[in-house]
Amino acid sequence: MEGVMWLFNLASFNRTTFNRPFSLDVFFSASMHGKGEISFAPNMEYLMSVHLDGVGTMTMDIIREIFFTAQLDGIGELTIETIRERFMSAYMNGIGEMSVNFAKYHVDTVEYTGDFEPGERIVIDSKKMKFTKDGQNAIHEMLGDFFDLNPGTNELIYTDDESGRSILIRITHRDKYLY
C-alpha cells in the first residue's frame, strides 16, 4: 500500500499488554491573568418648581350696641402642589484585557528498586532502551518507561530515603529533531 504509514512500537518493548494500544497521561495547564478597570462619573440634574396659590376672603360685620361688641368671621384657603421629578442616567464603559498561556506536558517516572551502594553507577539509555547498573543489565529492577527529554526546560527530580549522600548526575542529550 503506497502512501500509508504504519506505526509500530509506540511503547517500550514488553511494557504493554498484547493487542492493547499505547497510553500516555497528558496533563493540561492553563495560566490566566486578568486586569480590569472601571470608572464611574455621576451626573445629576435637579429641576425644582414651587407654585403657591392662595385665596383669602374676610368679611366683617360690626354691630354697634350698648356694650360695643365686634363680630369677625373669616374664611381662608391655601392650596400647595409639589411636583418632584427625577431624571437619572448612567453611562458605564469598560475595557478589559486577558492573556492566556497554554502548555502541554506530561510526566514520566523511572524508578530503580534495587540497592544503590556508594560508588555504583546507573546508566539509563533511552535510545537503546538499556538500564544498566555498573555495566550489568538491571532492567528487572526498573519501574516505569524509558523517556525522551523535551525541547526547552526539563525537570529531573532525584529522591532518596538515605541521608548524607553525595550524588553526581550527568545528563547527555541530543535533540532528535532538526530545527
Q: What's the pLDDT tens digit per position in 72-98?
A: 666 777 666 666 666 777 677 777 777
Q: What integer pLDDT is reported at residue 136 of this predicted model?
A: 92
Beta pairing class for 110-112 and 93-105: unpaired
| Residues 173 and 149 sit within 8 Å (Cβ to Cβ) | yes
Same domain? For 61 and 99 the reply is: yes
Domain that includes residue 131, residue range: 106-178
Give bridge partners of residue 33 from the DSSP assignment: 99
Domain end among 104, 135, 151: 104
124 and 89 fall within a common domain = no
For the stretch 5-55, pLDDT in tens is 555 555 566 665 565 555 555 565 656 666 666 665 666 666 666 566 666
20 in any annotated domain = no
Are 48 and 91 members of one domain?
yes
Q: Does residue 114 sit in the same domain as residue 158?
A: yes
**How far apart are the C-alpha atoms of 156 and 131, rounded to whole Å?**
17
156 plus 142 within the same structural domain: yes
Among the three residues 69, 104, 139, which one is the final residue of a domain in this structure?
A: 104
Q: Is the domain of 100 the same as that of 111? A: no
Pair 42, 55 in one domain: yes
Choice between 47 and 165, residue whose per-residue pLDDT is larger: 165
Q: How confident is the model at residue 58 (pLDDT cuts 50, 70, 90)?
A: low
**Does 22 map to a domain?**
no
**Residue 162 domain-assigned (yes or no):** yes
Which residues contact residue 76 at a Cβ distance below 8 angstroms, ignoring those fewer than 6 apart? 55, 56, 57
Domain end (from 87, 104, 121):
104
- Let me know whether 99 and 118 are in one domain: no
Residues 78 and 117 in one domain: no
Query: Which segments within 19-159 are labelled E, that is strand?
Result: 27-39, 50-63, 69-82, 93-105, 110-112, 122-125, 130-133, 136-137, 142-144
CA distances from 105 to 4, 11, 15, 74, 129 (A): 29, 18, 21, 98, 22
Assess whether 46 and 85 both reside in one domain. yes
Express each pLDDT in 103-137 by its tens digit: 666 677 788 888 878 788 888 888 888 889 999 99
Average the pLDDT over 47-67 and give the result. Answer: 61
Q: Dihedral sign for Cα 162, 166, 168, 169, please.
A: positive
Based on the fold, state whether residues 157 and 127 are members of the same structural domain: yes
pLDDT at 1: 45
Asked if residue 21 belongs to a domain, the reply is: no
Residue linked to cell 524508578: 111
97 and 42 assigned to the same domain: yes
pTM for the whole structure: 0.38
What's the total number of domains in the chain? 2
Residue 16 lies in a domain: no
